[in-house]
């Protein structure tokens, strides 16, 4: 007996509002942790020695005005209003946007190649952001210790490294356990930012002139050739803006927009205005205007709260690195890696051990090499603005080609932001030789790795299958053998995993050649990852009977999904065939790549691909196939 409960409109709206409220709290904790810690270092860097900006009243009001309006233009108008519209079935992020942009580029191979290059470089820059954010955030928070007492300055580096190591060690337990605490802590953080800002604004309300955009314009115009140095420092206020888009699939557009307009933007704006008011009355506070805006007796609680906030900000980009890695693997740009789910209810909460430890090593090395947050700030901007520019360019192609907007409308919606992003990127590039080279070099290295893997896999599969017989010809030959009784068949089901459905799998050829057996039922299985985030379960399997006990089975997944082949095959409707681990054998071909002369890639890229191929994760664990049902047959392939 089934019982149905009918909710009236008021009850349904109440449940929906509670859901949006919970998502909004989660978005505050995860999405806005990064941009929420920018007040720790932005104003200090604008008036740092590297920019040469004098600490005058006009410059203070102008700088705060520039920060306020860059928040309004880039974060509010570009991301909250425009870019959040460009979702791929509810998912966001540069790889999701890339998949959406190239979905209509099949008839334009050159455009597709350019878009792929942009998307891959954007993903590579995001990894740079994932390295620099934990380093600059934790360092800038712990640097507050030397304001408590100068004698603690020697402990800043070891404490920062200890916090970073603990943060990455904790990742294996997942964010599910600590996630419920993220929102409340960051809410307290933003409320504190606003309250401290208001206290200084009341003491010096003259700073409210910064809300007039003319002050920002005059401030930048007065810089002359030094405008790029000024803008390069102002851009630190919007680090983390990309997270609004990247985490859209976890929280949804309404929650992200409500959190920004209702709490995050007011808290940030008030705090920046408060720091400006402090500098107008106490110019000496320029050494660290964020911490010096707190009363001396609240300095220790401020350092503790800031440290908690920076840890949460770091958590957000680390989780983003896991998500973008999974998307890159599904889209064929990285080798398979072990992916662990840390939550039974949230599919997006994953942990990738290899990426975690590589990030930890990179973050610790970066922290030690740069020594302080000011040095890292020089490198930080290029990674952030580069990713922003790529996001805007990809958004144009989505508006123009995927959504078929008129050219004038697509250009009108994105051209202003492209020009603004170009200006921000050019401003940050002034610091190229002072650390800005780091994310660029890292990005280029990662692009080489990702492109080598994708191209190498294409060459490998072409070399494997170029001499393979056609599957349908092979099945006709098997049918002749059956009619003449030449080949005995065992009463079991075999599943052969292959990348090309139209040719005979290498594992099947080896099984017949070496074991002289053929199963009664043979499923030629191809797993494909589509340019969409998810695939409905009823649309996952595509089955075609060839005859003589052979079926072609195609299993589709989205790039945000983790494949589980046995679970998918439970829905396989084939007469008289039951797929279970006791009567089914999975045959997998494992290739050993041999680099030789005359390849399609440079020799060093062949060697790089061979190393990656040898260290790639097992297809068995990646597809969640029970290991005791697998038979692996190896072959050597020259590329």
What is the per-residue DSSP string for 435-489?
TTHHHHHHHHHHHHHHHHHHHHHHHHHHHHHTTPPBHHHHHHHHHHHHHHT-S-E
* Residue, of 597 and 607, whose pLDDT is higher: 607
Q: Give dist(CA 612, CA 615) in Å, integer.
A: 5
Q: Give dist(CA 30, CA 344) in Å, integer.
A: 19
Q: Give dist(CA 396, CA 407) in Å, integer.
A: 9
Q: Is the dihedral of CA 525, 529, 530, 534 positive or negative?
A: positive
387 closest CA partner among 242, 233, 244, 247: 242
pLDDT at 347 over 80: no
pLDDT of the residue at 274: 96
Give CA separation, 504 vs 139, 444, 465, 489, 545, in Å: 57, 38, 8, 18, 15
Confidence grade of residue 185 (pLDDT, cut at 50, 70, 90): confident
Query: Tell me, what DSSP letter sits at residue 31?
Result: T
Range name among 183-192, 494-503, 508-517 with the lowest pLDDT average: 508-517
**Cβ within 8 Å of residue 405, ≥6 positions away:** 399, 413
Mean pLDDT rounded to a whole number for the chain:
83
Confidence grade of residue 148 (pLDDT, cut at 50, 70, 90): confident
Note the pLDDT tens digit of each residue in 259-273. 999 999 999 999 999
pLDDT > 90: percent of the chain: 20
**Mean pLDDT across 216-226:** 86
pLDDT of the residue at 485: 56
Q: Give dist(CA 342, CA 350) in Å, integer.
A: 6
Tell me, rounded to whole angstroms, the distance of Cα 463 from its chain centroid.
32
Using the structure block, give the residue that is written with the tokens 């007996």.
Answer: 1
pLDDT of the residue at 170: 80
Domains of the chain plus CATH, in order, are 22-455 (1.20.1740.10), 469-638 (no CATH)
**Cβ within 8 Å of residue 147, ≥6 positions away:** 288, 291, 292, 299
Q: 358: burial class by Cβ within 10 Å (0-12, 13-18, 19+)?
A: middle
Most confident of 45-54, 230-239, 274-283, 420-429: 274-283
């Amino acid at each position: 007996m089934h019982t149905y409960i009918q909710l009236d409109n008021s009850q349904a709206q109440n449940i929906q509002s509670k859901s949006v409220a919970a998502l909004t709290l989660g978005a505050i904790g995860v999405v806005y942790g990064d941009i929420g810690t920018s007040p720790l270092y932005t104003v200090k860097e604008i008036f740092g020695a590297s920019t040469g900006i004098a600490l005058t009243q006009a410059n203070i009001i102008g700088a705060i005005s520039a920060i306020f309006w860059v928040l309004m233009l880039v974060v509010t108008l570009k991301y909250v209003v425009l870019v959040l519209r460009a979702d791929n079935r509810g998912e966001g992020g540069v790889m999701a946007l890339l998949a959406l942009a190239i979905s209509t580029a099949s008839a334009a191979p050159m455009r597709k190649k350019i878009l792929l290059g942009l998307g891959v470089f954007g993903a590579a820059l995001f990894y740079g952001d994932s390295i620099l954010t934990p380093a600059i955030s934790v360092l800038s928070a712990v640097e507050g210790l030397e304001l408590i007492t100068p004698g603690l300055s020697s402990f800043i580096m070891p404490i920062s490294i200890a916090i970073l190591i603990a943060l990455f060690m904790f990742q294996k337990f997942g964010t599910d356990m600590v996630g419920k605490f993220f929102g409340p802590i960051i809410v307290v953080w933003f409320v504190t930012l606003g309250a401290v800002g208001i206290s200084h604004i009341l003491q010096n309300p003259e700073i409210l002139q910064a809300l007039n955009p003319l002050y920002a314009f005059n401030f930048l115009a007065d810089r002359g050739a030094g405008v790029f140095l000024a803008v390069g420092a102002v851009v630190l206020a919007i680090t983390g803006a990309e997270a609004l888009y990247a985490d859209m699939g976890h929280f949804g557009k309404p929650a992200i927009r409500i959190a920004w307009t209702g709490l995050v933007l007011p808290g940030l704006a008030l705090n920046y205005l408060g720091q400006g008011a402090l500098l107008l009355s106490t110019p000496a506070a320029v050494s660290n205007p964020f911490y010096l805006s707190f009363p001396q007796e609240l300095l220790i609680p401020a350092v503790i709260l800031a440290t908690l906030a920076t840890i949460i900000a770091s958590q957000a980009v680390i989780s983003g690195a896991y998500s973008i890695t999974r998307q890159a693997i599904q889209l064929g740009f990285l080798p398979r890696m072990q992916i662990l789910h840390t939550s039974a209810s949230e599919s997006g909460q994953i942990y990738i051990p290899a990426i975690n430890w590589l990030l930890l090593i990179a973050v610790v090395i970066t922290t030690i090499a740069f020594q302080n947050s000011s040095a890292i700030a020089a490198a930080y901007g290029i990674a952030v603005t580069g990713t922003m520019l790529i996001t805007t360019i990809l958004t144009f192609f989505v508006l123009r080609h995927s959504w078929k907007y008129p050219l004038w409308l697509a250009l009108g919606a994105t051209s202003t932001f492209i020009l603004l992003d170009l200006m921000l990127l050019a401003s940050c590039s002034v610091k190229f030789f002072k650390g800005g080279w780091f994310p660029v070099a890292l990005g280029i290295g990662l692009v080489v790795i990702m492109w080598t893997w994708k191209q190498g896999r294409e060459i490998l599969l072409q070399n494997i299958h170029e001499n393979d017989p056609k599957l349908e010809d092979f099945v006709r030959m098997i049918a002749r053998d059956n009619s003449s009784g030449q080949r005995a068949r065992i009463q079991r089901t075999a599943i052969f995993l292959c990348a090309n459905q139209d040719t005979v799998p290498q594992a099947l050829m080896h099984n017949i050649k070496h074991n002289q057996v053929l199963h009664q039922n043979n499923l030629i299985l191809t797993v494909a990852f589509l340019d969409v985030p998810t695939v409905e379960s009823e649309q996952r399997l595509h089955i075609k009977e060839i005859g003589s006990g052979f079926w072609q089975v195609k299993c589709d997944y989205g790039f945000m999904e983790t494949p589980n082949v046995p679970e998918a095959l439970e829905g396989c409707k084939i007469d008289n065939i039951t797929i279970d681990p006791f009567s089914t054998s999975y045959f997998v071909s494992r290739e050993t790549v041999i680099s030789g002369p005359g390849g399609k890639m440079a020799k060093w890229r062949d060697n790089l691909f061979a190393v990656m191929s040898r260290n790639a994760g097992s297809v068995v664990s990646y597809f969640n196939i029970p290991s005791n049902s697998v038979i692996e047959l190896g072959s050597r392939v020259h590329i």
